[in-house]
Chain A
Amino acid sequence: ELKVEQNPLFLSMQEGKNYTIYCNYSTTSDRLYWYRQDPGKSLESLFVLLSNGAVKQEGRLMASLDTKARLSTLHITAAVHDLSATYFCAGFFGNEKLTFGTGTRLTIIP
């Protein structure tokens, strides 16, 4: 059974601090996605990682992929309140669907 696990599930962090969200998946994935979701809203695409060692950065967010370890990370640098949201990773396992993790609810505290 395909599994995508994220940790932590909940994260409260102070503004200005750094932290990392981890995404482990149980089988080979062609690609790995990161999405942001605000309460009651849809999914906003953040990153698509296509190969081992891929690293992408946008503002205070940086995502990386290690296909050998079946691990992706989303690193937050110098957090600001606007980054408060739920973050999902999703794997594409070649069967025409995205398999999502359970999400990490991030709260940035002033």
Chain B
Amino acid sequence: ETGVTQSPTHLIKTRGQQVTLRCSSQSGHNTVSWYQQALGQGPQFIFQYYREEENGRGNFPPRFSGLQFPNYSSELNVNALELDDSALYLCASSRMDSYGYTFGSGTRLTVV
């Protein structure tokens, strides 16, 4: 059984640029959620995807967008990067009919 894989592991971007982060779900999972974790804070929910559609969204602006693909992998796109976007981005996969979440190892994004 494969776990959740995220890429890249680290990324440095300049303010104003765009970034795409990727996540491969655990085998058998059909739902993907993305979280942003600023340094010293708990993770904050960005959005969730189920059946390739957004299925819930947190308090993040529209420049945060996502996709889910037929194989349940997912992308998180952030446009017009701001310094405050610097954080660890975590992807979690799950099954809609179960309670468990499996988190990936995260992507550390630094915006300079």
Contacts and interface: CB of A to CB of B under 8 A. Distances in A.
Interface size class of A (residues with CB under 8 A): 20 to 34
A97 B33 contact: yes
Nearest to B104: A42
Contact of B55 (A42, A88, A90, A96): A96
Nearest to A33: B101
Contacts of B105: 41-42
A89 B108 CA distance: 22
A96 B99 contact: no
A88 B101 CA distance: 14
Interface residues of B, number: 22
Contact of B56 (A4, A40, A97): A97
Main secondary structure of the interface of B (DSSP, over half): strand
Interface in A48-92: 48, 50, 88, 90, 92
B100 A98 contact: no
Contacts of A103: 41-42
A99 B90 CA distance: 14
Nearest to B6: A42
B48 interface: yes
Given A101-B42, A102-B42, A96 B103 contact: no
Contact of A45 (B35, B48, B101, B104): B101
B45 to A, nearest CB: 4
B8 interface: no
Interface of B: 33, 35, 41-45, 48, 55-56, 58, 90, 92, 99-106, 108
29 contacts: A4-B42, A31-B99, A35-B103, A40-B108, A41-B105, A42-B103, A42-B104, A42-B105, A42-B106, A43-B90, A43-B92, A45-B100, A45-B101, A48-B99, A88-B42, A90-B42, A96-B48, A96-B55, A97-B33, A97-B48, A97-B58, A98-B33, A98-B35, A98-B43, A98-B101, A99-B45, A100-B42, A100-B44, A102-B42
